[in-house]
Every structure is written in C-alpha cells, then in structure tokens.
C-alpha cells in the first residue's frame, strides 16, 4: 500500500476506506471492474462505457485530450455552498489535469440580491479550498456592451426580433395553451411584425420550427430535446440587460470555454444555450451536468443535513483538503479509494467516472475524513492551524512547543480543529480550576484508589527526571511493586490528571503538566 500523500508519519498507511458504519452509501453504487478497461480506474459499469462510446474522438482520453478551458460562475447572492464548491472543484481538477485554464466569473447581473460581501466570501472560500484561477476575475456587470453587441448580431442576421408583448399578454398566451392541453409557451405573436426597438420592448431568439437539439453530456450521455418543447425565449430584457442564457453563451465563447460542468438543474438551459450558439454560428462547448447532492435521508439537502456555506466549515475547523476530498467523492470515484492527495486528484480526474446518480451528504463521513487528515499532518503544521482556534478559546498566546505538545496529546480525540482546541482546556488550568466529570469521579475515585494515588504521588515527588519516557518506567514499576494491575490505578490517575477518561498516555500527560501540577492534581483528587 502506498504511503499517504499528506505526510503520514513512518509506519502510517493510507486508509483505503472508512469504517463500515461511517458511510451509509458505503460503496453500493459501484461495481467491480468488468475487464473492458485496463488499469485501476476501470469503469464502474458497462453502461457508462457505452454512453461514452459514441463521442467523436475515438477513446475517452482522446476526447478530452485538447486545450481544456473550464470556468466556475457563481452568483454573489449568497455564500459559496457545498454544491457550488463541488462544481468548482470538478472544473478546477479537469483544467489542471490537462494543463488547461480555469476561469472564475462572477455572475452579478441580479442587482437586487447581489452583494459585495458575498463576492468577497466566495473569493475567500475559493482561496481557502486552494482553487486558484487563471487570468483576471470577470464580472458580468462590466460586460453589458459586449452582450448587446451579440444581441445586435442576432437581430441583423434575422435570428432574433423585437417583441412588444407584455408579461400579462405572454401569461395569457400560456393560459390559452394550457386550456387546450398544449405546452404553455409564447406563441410567436411578434415574430413577423418587423418591430424595431422601443420602450418596453425585449428581444427574442427565433426558435427553429422543427427538429431536435442533441448533445453528448459528460455525465448523463446523449440528451435529445425536441424544439417543440422550447419557445422564442427572451435574450434581452426591456431594460437592455441580457437574460441568463444569453450572457452565459457570450461569456463562455469569449472566454474560450471548452467544457462546462455544472449542476443538473441547468440541464433545461443547455438546449436553449445551444440554440443561441448555433444562431450566432459558434461552436458550443462540451457540457456535463452533475446530479445534486442529497441529504443522508435521500431528501433535498438542507441545513439539517449539513448543507452549510464553505466559510462555516472553515470556522468549524475543517481542513480544506478534507472538504475537497470529500466533495470530489460525492459524484466521482477511482475504484474503492477514499482518500486522495491533491496532486493525486489532479493526476486522476480526467472527466470520466462522474456518477450520474445523486450522492448523499454524510456529516459523519466528512468528519471521519477530516480526523484522518488531522492525524496525518506533521504536529508542527497541525499546531499552526489550530492556533487561531486556541486563541478563540481564550488560552492566550501559547508557545509553538507547548501548542505542539497539546496537539500530540489530543489529536486522536478530535475530528475538527475546534474540537482539538477545546480538548486543551484541562491541560491549561490549575489544579483548583480543573472540572471533573461526575461519572468518571464516581467510578474511579474511591477510598481505595485515593490511597493508591497518594502512594504514587510520594514516588513521583522523589523522581529526579520528570520526562515522559522515565515517567512511564516509574509508573510501570509502581504498578509492579505494589502488586497492582493497570486497571486498578490508571483510570483513577487519568481522572485525577484531566478530569475525565480521555487524552493521551499518562506519562505524556504528566510530563506536559510538570511535577508541581501533577502532584497538585493528584492531591486534589484525594479530596473529592
């Protein structure tokens, strides 16, 4: 087994999969390699291979082996949430895998709901996740003239027309269609009126009268939509601003986007965007629509399932790579492997093996993964990361050495940096401030164990070298000399030292506390 890419210490091995009870999905959606494709990244199933077989570049790798340019285009109407973050990660990985370019575009045309604080939050979340972008940051509000120029091209070539119909009139058309069992749509009233610009007038795209829009989706395979399902959609509003579909097409073309990966809530937009591409005589990009993320119960993801903003996970003390790793696995797989270094993800993610089925968000699995990365980090790095959380807990300024010592003692108990920082509290208090767990005291601090602790304290007081290795020898010698078992004194000593049944090795705890504090805590326990 290969060593973990995240600096595992000697002897540590990569964890291939979480505990059986960690992920309710477990690996049920995957099948064993079927022999069609050689190597460790064999397709999950035959149907996936068949869906992709018709792509026009021969093999899958040839299909993707081009100058790949991707983008992520969030709207600053809220913070970056995990669904958007996953899409951004997929786009970033695809571009980095092929040595292409990844662009970030802020779609801020919703002037009422767009806020600078959300833009700042999105950018901060992207940087925290390690998703760097190429070139300048693009804002749609700065490109209005560009959009209007493309609309003008469509008007000039007869692919678009001015429309004077009001919203009320369009709704009446739809109601009439519903009344006779037809699809509710704009009926083309202004299509042949040869109207020009005017107050209250929008611009509509002239939809073909017949035919199908067919495209090969990276995730879902071939998708075909009859043009009868579409209508003459608005591409420029009466106020001169472009609609979403128009702006996206112009932006993606101008930015040279070759692959558009986004949520499958955009599947219905894709045929409309393809119509715009074709009306302009432009080559459309390759589309891929990933399913939404569901809650652990299969319902729409909500806050009760852990659907929170990326910035909240950062504040909760998750490591960015743990979140990246987890989100990538919500919709993509490489055999049964669960844990990936970032460089490894870049190497493996080529746009294939994206799961067409919706994934379920599991907070327990995310925390399990985060705990793994915390334990794999060098202690010095873990100490650096936990420092702001320790400050927030009110511990004051701790030396690097002391903070590293605390991390060593408690890293096995914590799943997040916040949890780790909270674990430090018992070690940074004085004996008379220590809070004891009532159940631990009732079970472990008895008249008999108090007498044993008093005798141990006498031995510790005379110990010349108060260091972990020597203290371990002293404690084991005490147990042997007094004909005790480990269980007859260790739980009582642990409760006396930290107030609960947890923490690291007893000799490590005593060495960290020092002689004076260790003896003071044992003395206090004897009074309980």
Please give the positions annotated as active site.
303
3-state secondary structure of 132: coil
Q: Within 13 Å of residue 286, how many CA atoms lie on the same side as its CB?
A: 23
Long-range own/partner contacts, residues 48-51 (CB < 8 A, 24 or more apart): 48/353, 51/220, 51/221, 51/222
| Rounded distance between C-alpha atoms, residue 336 and residue 348, angstroms | 14
Distance of CA 477 to the CA centre of its chain: 50
64-68: Cβ within 8 A, 24+ apart: 64/94, 64/98, 64/350, 64/351, 64/352, 65/98, 66/98, 66/258, 67/98, 67/100, 67/258, 68/94, 68/95, 68/97, 68/98, 68/99, 68/100, 68/101, 68/258, 68/259
The three-state secondary structure class of 79 is coil
How many beta carbons lie within 10 A of that of residue 336, not counting itself?
Answer: 11
Look at the block and give the residue holding tokens 């009306």: 279
The pair of three-digit structure tokens given for residue 18, joined into one six-digit string:
């979480």
Task: Quote the CA–CA distance of 330 and 290 in Å, as a whole number.
Answer: 10
d(CA 134, CA 137): 8
Contact status, residue 233 vs residue 248, Cβ threshold 8 Å: no
Burial 455-470 (b: 16+ CB within 10 A, else e): ebbeebeebeebeeee
- Three-state DSSP at 145 gives helix
CA nearest 387: which of 415, 395, 125, 425? 395
Task: Please state, in angstroms and rounded to a whole number, the distance separating the CA atoms of residues 278 and 284.
Answer: 8
Alpha helix ranges (H) inside 482-514: 490-498, 506-513
């Amino acid at each position: 087994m290969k060593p973990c890419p995240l600096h595992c210490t000697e002897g540590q091995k990569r964890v291939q999969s979480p505990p059986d009870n960690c992920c309710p999905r477990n690996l049920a959606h995957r099948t064993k390699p079927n022999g069609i494709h050689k190597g460790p990244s064999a397709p999950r199933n035959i149907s996936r291979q068949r869906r992709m077989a018709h792509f026009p570049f021969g093999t899958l790798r040839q299909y993707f082996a081009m100058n790949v340019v991707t983008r992520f285009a969030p709207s600053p109407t809220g913070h970056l949430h995990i669904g958007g973050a996953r899409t951004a990660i997929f786009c970033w990985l695809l571009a980095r895998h092929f040595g292409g370019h990844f662009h970030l575009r802020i779609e801020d045309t919703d002037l009422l709901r767009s806020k600078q604080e959300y833009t700042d939050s999105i950018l901060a979340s992207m940087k925290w996740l390690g998703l760097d972008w190429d070139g300048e940051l693009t804002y749609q509000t700065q490109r209005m003239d560009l959009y209007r120029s493309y609309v003008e091209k469509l008007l000039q070539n007869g692919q678009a027309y001015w429309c004077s119909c009001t919203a009320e009139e369009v709704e009446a058309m739809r109601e009439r269609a519903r009344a006779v069992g037809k699809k509710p749509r704009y009926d083309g009233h202004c299509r042949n009126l040869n109207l020009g610009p005017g107050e209250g007038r929008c611009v509509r795209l002239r939809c073909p009268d017949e035919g199908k829009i067919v495209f090969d989706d990276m995730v879902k395979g071939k998708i075909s939509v009859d043009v009868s399902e579409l209508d003459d959609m608005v591409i420029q509003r009466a106020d001169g601003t472009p609609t979403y579909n128009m702006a996206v097409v112009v932006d993606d073309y101008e930015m040279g986007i070759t692959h558009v990966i986004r949520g499958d809530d955009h599947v219905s937009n894709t045929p409309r965007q393809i119509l715009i591409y074709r009306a302009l005589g432009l080559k459309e990009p390759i589309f891929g629509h990933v399913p939404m993320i569901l809650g652990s119960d299969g319902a729409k993801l909500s806050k009760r399932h852990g659907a929170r903003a990326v910035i909240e996970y950062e504040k909760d003390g998750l490591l960015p790579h743990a979140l990246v790793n987890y989100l990538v696995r919500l919709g993509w797989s490489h055999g049964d492997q669960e844990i990936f270094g970032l460089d490894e993800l870049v190497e493996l993610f080529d746009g294939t093996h994206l799961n067409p089925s919706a994934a379920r968000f599991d907070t327990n699995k995310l925390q399990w993964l985060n705990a793994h990365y915390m334990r794999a980090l060098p202690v010095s790095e873990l100490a650096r990361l936990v420092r702001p959380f320790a400050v927030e807990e009110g511990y004051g300024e701790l030396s690097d050495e002391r903070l590293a010592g605390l991390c060593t003692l408690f890293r096995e108990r914590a799943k997040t940096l916040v949890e780790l920082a909270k674990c430090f509290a018992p070690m940074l208090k004085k004996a008379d401030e220590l809070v004891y767990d009532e159940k631990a005291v009732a079970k472990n601090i008895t008249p008999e164990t108090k007498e044993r602790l008093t005798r141990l304290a006498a031995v510790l007081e005379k110990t010349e070298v108060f260091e972990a290795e020597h203290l371990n020898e002293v404690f084991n010698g005490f147990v042997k000399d007094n004909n005790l078992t480990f269980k007859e004194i260790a739980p009582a000593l642990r409760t006396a030292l930290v107030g609960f049944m947890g923490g690291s090795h007893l000799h490590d705890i005593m060495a960290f506390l020092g002689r004076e504090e260790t003896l003071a805590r044992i003395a206090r326990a004897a009074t309980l």
